[in-house]
A = this chain, B = another copy of it.
Amino acid sequence: MGRSQLEKQKTHEKIVETASRRLREEGLEGVGVADLMKEAGLTVGGFYKHFASRDDLVAEAIQSAFDSWGRKLEADGIDPAKMTAADVADRYLSAYHRDNPGEGCPFAALTSDISRGDDKARGIATERLRLNFEALASKASGADAERRRKAVIAFAMMAGGVGLARISSDEALSAEILETVRDFVAAIDK
């Protein structure tokens, strides 16, 4: 059935949103096109009117996944600029974030996937990495170089911490990692 331009755009967004979640949950190669289309309430045949290839969807979905962190803050009525390092740490190192990779940070959910990815995916991620460092540096104390150092340390520790916490099948160990890193980051600009 033919659809209006508006409906097509909504369909497009629905596919990207579905992919953005499922790819974070199951990895960049973990879900097939037919499965994604079905979950978006469609069939596989329509896919290539929206994307030239599966890789094109993946690139769009990664972009969307990076945007989702900010969109969620907005939905929760939080101004990112007003968050302290402690606020960021509380959110990033929460059990909720650990247990819901599909809604969370792609640097934690897709670390190894992106490093193996094509130039497009890595390019997008590199740009976001730079922005994350700058945003965190603006929250840290000290001279410019010191703030930059703190930002790099804090983000490496947060992304690594959530990654390791997700690996651990021992809940106590996993919680210890989250808590230890959270306390450290929260204290970083004190």
Q: A residues engaging B (CB < 8 A)? A: 25-27, 29-30, 101, 107-116, 119, 122-123, 125-126, 129-130, 149, 152-153, 155-161, 163-164, 166-170, 173, 176-177, 180-181, 184
A36 to chain B, nearest CB (A): 17
Given A113-B112, A129-B164: A156 in contact with B181 (beta carbons within 8 A): yes
Describe A's contact surface by its main secondary structure.
Answer: helix
A141 to chain B, nearest CB (A): 16
Cα distance A130–B170 when bound, in Å? Answer: 10
Chain A to chain B: the 3 pairs with minimum beta-carbon distance, closest first? A160-B160, A115-B166, A156-B161
A126 to chain B, nearest CB (A): 5
Residue in B101, B156, B181 whose CB lies within 8 Å of A164: B156
B170 and A152 form a contact (CB under 8 A): no
Given A115-B163, A173-B126: A156 in contact with B157 (beta carbons within 8 A): yes
In the complex, what residues of B have CB within 8 A of residue A111's CB?
Answer: 111-112, 160, 163-164, 167
Chain B residue at minimal CB-CB distance from A161: B156
Cα distance A177–B107 when bound, in Å? Answer: 14
A59 to chain B, nearest CB (A): 14
B159 and A176 form a contact (CB under 8 A): no
Residue in B27, B107, B114, B184 whose CB lies within 8 Å of A153: B184
